[in-house]
Amino acid sequence: MTLRLRTLGKSNLNITEIGFGLWAAGGDQWGTTDDQQVFDAIDYALDRGMNFYDTADVYGAGHSEELLGHAMRGRRDKFIVATKIGWRDFDGERGQTAYTTLEKFIAGVESNLQRLGTDYIDLIQSHINFRDPTMEIFVEGFQRLQRDGKVKAYGLSTSDFEYIKAFNADGGCASLQIDYSILNRTAEQEIFPYCQAHNIGVIVRGGLAMGILAGKFTPETRFSEGDFRRRWHENPDEYEIFLNDLQIVEQLRSLATPERSLAHLALQFTLHHPAVTTVIPGIKDVAQAQKNIAAGLLPPLSAEELTLIDNLVAPGKGRKIWPA
C-alpha cells in the first residue's frame, strides 16, 4: 500500500494525505534534535511515497530549511516543498513584519530559496497569523513570484477568519494551514466551509495537539529544557487545560486497537473532513516517520467511530491549542 494523494485546492499540487512537518527538526522549541536522524527520517519517508514537506524560515532560525535543502540535493523533483515567511525579524512594537516594501519581501523569499537550495518553491505561505499592515505586500509579492516561476502556489497560516477572507480577496489563495484536531474543531464552524467554497486546500497542523493526543502524557509528565510545552506546568491555567485534555484522551482509548494507536486515530480524524488535504505531524526521527506513515495506510474511521468522537468533542467545538 502507498499513501493516498489529494489535490491541494487550486494549486494542482497532488500531495500525500500525511506530510512531514519540519518545525521540530529545526532544533529549537521542541527540545534537541539530531540532524542525521532527520535526514534518515526524510529518506525513510521519501522511500515510502511521502512527498509533502513543510518548513519555515524561523524553524531553528532557518536550520530546518537548510536541512531540507541538503536532503533534496540531486532529487528535488521528488519533493513538494512548502515553506513560510513573516515572523523573521518581526517588529513587535509596530506589530508588523520586516517586509515593509515589495523589494524587501522579494529579498526575503530569495533567502528562503537560498536556504532550501532550490530555484522554486512549490507552496509559499504567509506565516503571520493576523492581518498586519504588510498583508498587501505579501499578496503582491507572492503573485509576482508566481508569475516569475519561483513560486507555484501561495497561501497562509492562521486561524483568523477575517484575515483569511482579506488575504483571499482576489481569489488567488491556494491553501490554508491551520490548527485542527479532536481537541480543537473550531475551524469546522466557518473556516472549513469557506475553504471548500473557494477551493482553498487545508493543511492541518497540530493534529496530535502538541503530542497530547498520542496518549503518552500523564499529569506528571515534564518536558525538557528548550521545549516550549514546559509552560503547561509553569502556568496554572494552562496546567488545568492540560489535565482536562488528558481526561478526553482517556475516553478516546476505547477506540484504539492493536493495529491503530491513539496517534493514528488522531491523524485519521483530521483527514475525515472533506476540506482537509493533508496533515503534517512533526517528525524528528525514523520511528516517528514510521508511525505517522502507518496512519495514512489504515482504513478511514467509521461513521460509528466518528460519532463517538463527536460525543466527546462536538463538531465545531473545542479549544484552540495554538494561539492563532
Out of 14-23, 109-118, 229-238, which region has the weakest mean confidence (pLDDT)?
229-238
What's phi and psi for 42, nearest 5 deg? Answer: -65, -45
Residue 30 has pLDDT above 90, yes or no: no
Residue 29 has pLDDT above 70, yes or no: no
Residue with cell 532550490: 118
- Cα 127 to Cα 16, 84, 170, 177, 189: the distances in Å are 22, 5, 19, 9, 22
Which CATH number characterizes residue 177's domain?
3.20.20.100
- Beta strand extents in 206-292 (DSSP E only): 276-279
Residue 255 has pLDDT above 50, yes or no: yes
Confidence of residue 324 (pLDDT cuts 50, 70, 90): very low
Average pLDDT over the chain, rounded to an integer: 93
Q: Evaluate whether residue 25 is within a structural domain.
A: yes
- Cα 123 to Cα 12, 75, 230: the distances in Å are 11, 18, 32
Mean pLDDT of 116-145: 96
Instruction: Classify strands 14-16 and 5-7 as parallel, antiparallel or unpaired.
Output: antiparallel
What are 280's three cell numbers? 503534517
* pLDDT tens column, 154-182: 999 999 999 999 999 999 999 999 999 99
- Number of domains composing the chain: 1
What's phi and psi for 53, nearest 5 deg? Answer: -130, 120
Count other C-beta atoms under 10 Å from residue 196's C-beta: 15
Q: Evaluate whether residue 121 is within a structural domain.
A: yes
The helix/strand/coil state of 291 is helix
HSE, CB side, 13 Å, CA atoms: give it for residue 34.
6
Residue 58 has pLDDT above 90, yes or no: yes
Q: Evaluate whether residue 76 is within a structural domain.
A: yes
Q: Evaluate whether residue 323 is within a structural domain.
A: no
* Phi-psi sector, 4: left (phi>0), alpha (psi -120 to 50), beta: beta
What is the DSSP code (8-state) at residue 101? S
Confidence of residue 231 (pLDDT cuts 50, 70, 90): confident
Q: Evaluate whether residue 141 is within a structural domain.
A: yes
Per-residue confidence (pLDDT) for residue 320, from 0 to 100: 66
* pLDDT tens column, 242-253: 888 999 999 999
Confidence of residue 239 (pLDDT cuts 50, 70, 90): confident
Nearest CA to 120 among 140, 150, 157? 150
Taking the C-alpha atoms of residue 103 and residue 97, their distance in angstroms, rounded to an integer, is: 13
Mean pLDDT of 20-38: 84
Residues classed as catalytic: 59
Out of 106-115, 121-130, 198-207, 222-231, which region has the weakest mean confidence (pLDDT)?
222-231
Nearest CA to 309 among 259, 273, 281, 282? 273
Q: Evaluate whether residue 236 is within a structural domain.
A: yes
Residue with cell 527540545: 31
- Whether the CB-CB separation of 301 and 262 falls below 8 Å is answered with no
Q: Evaluate whether residue 94 is within a structural domain.
A: yes
Taking the C-alpha atoms of residue 246 and residue 242, their distance in angstroms, rounded to an integer, is: 6
Nearest CA to 44 among 20, 17, 24? 20
Taking the C-alpha atoms of residue 266 and residue 214, their distance in angstroms, rounded to an integer, is: 8
Taking the C-alpha atoms of residue 311 and residue 319, their distance in angstroms, rounded to an integer, is: 15
Per-residue confidence (pLDDT) for residue 205, from 0 to 100: 96
Host domain of residue 201? 5-312
The helix/strand/coil state of 148 is coil
Give the rounded distance of the alpha carbon of 164 from its chain centre.
16
Compare 30 and 34 and report the one with higher pLDDT: 34
Q: Evaluate whether residue 318 is within a structural domain.
A: no
pTM: 0.94
Residue 259 has pLDDT above 80, yes or no: yes
- Whether the CB-CB separation of 68 and 42 falls below 8 Å is answered with yes
